[in-house]
Amino acid sequence: MAEKKIKILIVDDIPEARERLQKLLAFESDFEVVGMASGGNEGIALAREYLPDIVLMDINMPDMDGISAASELRRSVPTAGVIMMSVQGEAEYIRRALQAGARDFLTKPPPTDELYATVRRVAEDMRSLSVLVAQSERDEKRKLEVQEDRTTHVIAVYSPQGGAGKTTIATNLAAALMREGTRVLLVDCDLQFGDVGVFLNLKPQATIVELIKSVDDLDTDLVNNVLVAHDSGLRVLTAPLRPEDAEYVPTAKVPLLIEKLRGLFDYIVVDMNSRVDEMALALFDMASRILLVLNPTLPALKNGLAAMSLMDSLEYPEEKTQLVLNRVTPDLERSKVAIAISAFEQKLRRKAFAVIPMDEKKVLFAVNRGISIVAKDRNQSPARELIAMADSLIASLAPKEEAPASSQQLQAPAKQPASRLGRLFGGG
């Protein structure tokens, strides 16, 4: 591999000293002398222009001395590692040089081996330092902060059918909602068999179990530490790692936790299981949208109808519950499927919000590599349809011209949940 050369700037007022250094450095193929200056001021100007990795800086120069120049460079060209050079090897000089931000010190004239070794070591330090700086800048950008005026939309991805593609839809929707400046959280609420972590190849240090424990006094630092960030910047709260650990998650606290995380995100996508229990009802209530994921099959139509009539009995506005048809095969039985889609739309009394084609290969490819489908070939099915679904969702949730943002209106008041479940299913 061709290593990047170490760019070096020489600053010394004595021409012979500059030339000697230049000659010595020219022997080594990984060094490149990008410029030479005869004083502090010129050195700073050249450093700004050439952005060297290393500045070999003499201390005693007539215009601006090396120590002042070094402290100016620390501010204006922080990526340059300054190596101070002086005939005086006194402790006081060395101390002042290091204080000014110099990375190392050489006595003049430096022994050749020492010169080479010092240049390489400081260049290496500067490189790892710049990696760290870039990393911390990225972390800083990703840091979650509460934003009081943020409208957070909870999107519940639900299906009465197991294996309909809830997790596939939820992970890809969350990934597709990500864009610069948008904060998205994906929560795996399939507490026993949640597999969002597997779908995205995440190794969480902590799961919903740990966050639920502190739900009563959550602070932003804890949330920042616990929520794993996918490479895309998407935050993920994974389900317990083992099914038996689900019992450590009191289901009543899950909606409370999501409520508390609201101010930190623009979208919270919730991947659910098929059960309709208290937790599911509370999540439905808090959602701006419920995506009802169905496959175009007869049993799915029957279950879909039951689920939709449940939503109706909860008195949600019509646009709150949307139909997402998944695993739709366009070829083979084109006509039959077309009928199936229209049958779904007719029975469920709404247009399909999204129709996601069946594509075993692409879906499996993505899952096996722990990436989202939408991360690859964005113009091809099914990535295209998944991205279009995210776009429609964003558009449909954007504040309307008059009537301010309606997330409030869409949330049905949580009314005595204990009795609701019984009433819904005709019990007590």
Among 86, 159, 167, 326, binds Mg ion (CB under 5 A): 167
Q: Tokens 């129709």 correspond to what residue? A: 355
Q: CB–CB of 293/156 below 8 Å?
A: no
For residue 358, state whether it binds ligand ADP (rule: CB under 6 A). yes
Which stretch of DSSP H or E encloses residue 106? strand 104-107
H-helix or E-strand spanning residue 220: helix 220-226
Among 276, 363, 389, 410, binds ligand ADP (CB under 6 A): 363
Site string for ligand ADP, 310-349 (x = CB under 6 A): ----------------xx----------------------
Nearer to Mg ion by Cβ, of 144 and 155: the residue is 155
239 Cβ neighbours under 8 A, 6+ residues apart: 188, 189, 190, 191, 192, 193, 194, 195, 196, 197, 207, 208, 246
Among Mg ion, ligand ADP, none, partner that 162 touches (CB below 5 to 8 angstroms by kind): ligand ADP
Rounded CA-CA distance 20/10 in Å is 11
326 counts as binding Mg ion under rule CB under 5 A: no
Should residue 110 be labelled a site residue for ligand ADP when binding is judged by CB under 6 A?
no
For residue 162, the minimal CB distance to Mg ion (Å) is 8
276 counts as binding ligand ADP under rule CB under 6 A: no
d(CA 200, CA 223): 19
- Name which of 7 and 166 has its Cβ closer to Mg ion: 166
Interacting residues of 100 by C-beta distance below 8 A, sequence separation 6+ = 67, 68, 70, 71, 74, 82
**Residue that is written with structure tokens 């010092």 in the block:** 118
Closest listed residue to residue 152, CA positions, set 255, 288, 272: 288
Which is nearer to ligand ADP, 326 or 407 (by Cβ)?
326
207 is an interface residue for Mg ion by CB under 5 A: no
Return the residue matching tokens 């019984």: 422
Report the C-alpha gap between 209 and 269 in whole angstroms. 18
Binding partner of residue 7 among Mg ion, ligand ADP, none, CB cut-off 5 to 8 Å per kind: none
Closest of 234, 245, 272 to residue 371, by C-alpha:
234
Please state the closest distance from residue 113 (CB atom) to ligand ADP, in A.
60
Smallest gap from Cβ 255 to ligand ADP, in A, equals 20
- CB of 321 vs ligand ADP, minimal distance in Å: 17
Tell me which DSSP letter residue 87 carries.
S
Smallest separation (angstroms) from ligand ADP to the CB of 272: 9
- Identify the CA nearest to 116 among candidates 16, 34, 6, 17: 6
303 binds ligand ADP (CB under 6 A): no
Nearer to ligand ADP among residue 38 and residue 326 (C-beta): 326
Residue 189 lies near ligand ADP (rule: CB under 6 A): no
What is the binding site for Mg ion (CB under 5 A)?
166-167
